[in-house]
Amino acid sequence: MLLGAPGAGKGTQAKRIKEKYAIPQFSTGDILREEVENQTQLGLKAQGYMSRGQLVPDSLIIAMMRDRIDRDENRCGFVLDGFPRSVAQADALEKLLDELSWPLQAVVEITIDNESIVKRITNRRICSKCGADYNLIDKPPLPGDLCSVCNGSVVLRPDDNEQTIRTRLDVYDTQTKPLRDYYEARSLLRRVDGNQPVDEVFDSVIGILEGAAAGK
Ligand code: AMP
């Protein structure tokens, strides 16, 4: 499980972990954006909360994730990014994983200061078609704002404006940060400095995951 404020780099690291171990990756933000795009019932309910930078209600998120996690193809492991984001969600996840006898192996918090986050997020862009990540500083899209993976159009996420980012950071402080203590109490929490270059963050994350798998 990856923990960390918006813009800490969870999505980037989650995608790399998925590729390295060939395991499923569940990013609640990506799943919700797809639901909004497809105008599903869940998407219609979630849209307003997302554009205001607030958390989508726990009951909706818990049902959505229970449905995705509780599948046989996840038996060999998976990576969670953006879930849980509240103590109620963490409790629901713990209950589900207990029922399945799939213990959580590691919680990695990617830490980064708020000003770097605001700078990162305002430069962040995303492919509207395949969700690939870009940033205007060191990973720009192709000319014409096109995605180098699928040729889709690369856009600014509607909730990546400075005002909404500040709300998301406040929400993180009040609702998600308590999860640090939650997982520290279970001896699962490890920290990685998210200000490092992406490759170095990845090496640290992998070191933690392999240590956890080896029972260290
Ligand atoms: P993200 O892409 O992870 O930054 O998520 C974008 C938005 O989706 C958040 O600001 C929330 O509105 C919503 N969201 C994502 N994950 C969760 C979650 N676990 N619980 C509640 N809302 C969520």
21-43 pLDDT, tens per residue?
999 999 999 999 999 999 999 99
Pairing of strands 25-27, 79-81: parallel
Question: Which tens digit of pLDDT belongs to each residue from 56-87?
Answer: 999 999 999 999 999 999 999 999 999 999 99
pLDDT cut 90: percent of the chain above it: 90
Backbone angles phi, psi at 138, to 5 degrees: -125, 5
Does the Cβ of 65 fall within 6 Å of ligand 1? no
Question: Which tens digit of pLDDT belongs to each residue from 152-165?
Answer: 999 999 899 989 99
Q: Which of 44, 50, 89 should be mutated for ligand 1, with most atoms under 8 A from CB?
A: 50
Q: Give which of 4, 44, 48 is closest to 27, Cα–Cα.
A: 4
The single residue of 33, 85, 120, 190 carrying the catalytic annotation is 85
Q: Crossing angle of helices 41-52/58-69, nearest 10°?
A: 120
Does the Cβ of 55 fall within 6 Å of ligand 1? yes
Q: Rounded distance, CA 52 to CA 181, Å?
A: 27
pTM for the whole structure? 0.92
Q: Which of 12, 13, 33, 56 should be mutated for ligand 1, with most atoms under 8 A from CB?
A: 56
Token pair 């986050």 in the structure block, residue: 117
Question: Which tens digit of pLDDT belongs to each residue from 90-142?
Answer: 999 999 999 999 999 999 999 999 989 999 999 999 999 988 889 998 899 99
Contact criterion met (CB below 8 Å) for 2 and 13? yes
33 is an active site residue: no
State the distance from the centre of ligand 1 to the C-alpha of 215, rounded, in angstroms.
31
Q: Rounded distance, CA 162 to CA 57, Å?
A: 23
47 pLDDT higher than 90? yes
> 27 - beta bridge partners?
81
Q: Give which of 7, 16, 5 is closest to 135, Cα–Cα.
A: 7
